[in-house]
Structure 1
Amino acid sequence: MGKNKGARIIITLECECRNYKNDKKRKYGIFRYTTSKNKRNTPNRLEIRKFCPCCNNHSIFKEIK
């Protein structure tokens, strides 16, 4: 039997830009990151600034269900 991971869960972060078409050289669509968080310490939805290849800059990624 494996150990229980406790309150740590895997979440998906999605860029706010969605299908923002500002440059023809970049691909279009939705870009997502996956990470984990502790549900007890951060019960609210997580927001992190990360690089989005669709926007070609750092933007806010929000947690989705």
Structure 2
Amino acid sequence: MAKSKEARSIIKLKSEASDHCYFTQKNRNNTKERISLRKFDPVVRRHVMYKEASKV
């Protein structure tokens, strides 16, 4: 039998204000589109938008 792909995948969230990034997981079955979250950026020391850059 063929292996089924995992529902959860590790993604990279890239800051819009600097080169900082976070790594997190998302469920591909529930969230098909790219995600964007508002998170704290320690480089610029404020909350900014982080967008999904690529899968790892």
TM-score range for the pair, normalised by the shorter chain length: 0.7 to 0.9
1:44 aligns with 2:27: no
> CA RMSD, aligned part only?
1.5
TM-score computed with the length of structure 2 as normaliser: 0.81
Match of 1:61 in 2: 50
Unaligned runs of 5+ in 2: none
Unaligned runs of 5+ in 1: 19-29
Q: Which runs of 4+ in 1 moved over 6 A?
A: none
Cα deviation, residue 31, structure 1: 0.4
Match of 2:23 in 1: 34
Identity between Structure 1 and Structure 2 (%):
41
Q: Determine which structure has the larger strand proportion and give its number.
A: 2
Match of 1:10 in 2: 10
Amino acid at match of 1:7: A
Aligned pair count?
A: 51
Q: How many angstroms apart in 2 are the aligned matches of 1:54 and 1:48?
A: 17
